[in-house]
Amino acid sequence: MTQRKSDLDELLEKLKQGRDELNVKMHLGKAEAKDLWQETEDKWRHLRSQLDEINDDTGDVAKDVGATAILLAEEIKEGYERLKKML
């Protein structure tokens, strides 16, 4: 076997290993992104429900729900930003 063939075989093996590692990371990343999306969607539905409550309520209850809704909206925003970075 020539040195050139040996070098090529070694390079191909390194490329295959790198390819396999990236493939695993991509699948894990997809799963992580899906989980984050679902978590963020759950928060979105909860926020919409709270906002509907605010529209129906008055007084202190509405103020409490409003403060919670703002915090939840910030969490949703952060989740969307993390998703954008993942994709």
Domain boundaries, the chain: 3-86
Tens of pLDDT along 33-68?
Answer: 899 999 999 999 988 887 777 666 565 555 666 677
Q: Burial level of 72, CB count in 10 A (0-12/13-18/19+)? A: middle
Which stretches of 1-87 are DSSP H helices?
A: 3-56, 60-86
Residue 26 has pLDDT above 60, yes or no: yes
Q: What pLDDT is stored for residue 65 in this prediction?
A: 66
Phi-psi region of 86 (alpha: psi -120 to 50; beta: other; left: phi over 0): alpha
Q: What is the pLDDT of residue 63?
A: 64
**CA–centroid distance for 80 within its chain:** 7
Tokens of 35: 């989980």
Percent of the chain whose pLDDT exceeds 70 = 84
Tokens 């396999």 sit at which residue? Answer: 20
